[in-house]
Structure 1
Amino acid sequence: MVDYLKNKSRPFIFTTAIPPAACAAGLEALKLIGGEEGAKRRERFWQNCRYLEKGLSAIGFDMTVQSPIIPVVLGEPQRALDASKTLFAKKLLVPAIRPPTVPQGTSRLRISLASEHQIEHLDLLLEGLKIVK
């Protein structure tokens, strides 16, 4: 089967091997996520998600979607762009997502959290979002 795939798989035929450093990094990442440190990071990550979702609900955003990528729907494209620029001026990178990526009338900010975000970071984001609400 391996020989068959090597010789018949079109994406595989004309490619080169991944660099050893990328392979080593991938292996280390798998070790990390499968171990105790990975479990701690996942727990911190989900705590951050819950904290931000509660904060967004408290300032009036609809938080019916529970996801690691948190959409803050603002409606019109210009409103989302203006909000993104306002937040960027406060050193917060929150991209505006507009049609055709999302349906007309549902332009939004896309918040992507990480386990390494601290509560202070999330509070700063919530303060910025109060301004653009």
Structure 2
Amino acid sequence: MDMRGTQGQGPRPDPDELRAAFQRQSRAELAQSRSQQARIARWAGMAFSVLLGLGAATVLVTRLSEGRPAGLWAALCAVSLLLTVAGFALAKLGRTRWTIAALALAVLVVQLGDSLGFFAD
């Protein structure tokens, strides 16, 4: 008798029972669940886009209000703002993977701009 892989597990369910239980599930429930998950992902992408856009704007306004001359760092912060707007638009269109890519790039660009802002004379 082969006992590999069955330690701590109860009796294995019959594959026919599993197949029947899966087929009894209604397709409407699955479609509704997927639709709800997609809606939540779109809203989360839009919310993160707004938050990151506010963060990039805060960095830009703070550095400029300190009297630092605008330069490459300001351009990078502006590019980051544009990326967050693009992320918002992509999330609204349902392109959540592209939204994540745009927002990750926006974070990297604003961090680079912020670090260059310390060295501006």
Task: Please give the range of the TM-score, normalised by the shorter of the 2 chains.
Answer: 0.3 to 0.5
Name the structure, 1 or 2, with higher relative contact order (CA <8 Å, separation 6+).
2
Q: Which has the higher helix share?
A: 2
Structure richer in strand, relative to its length: 1
Q: Which has the larger radius of gyration?
A: 2
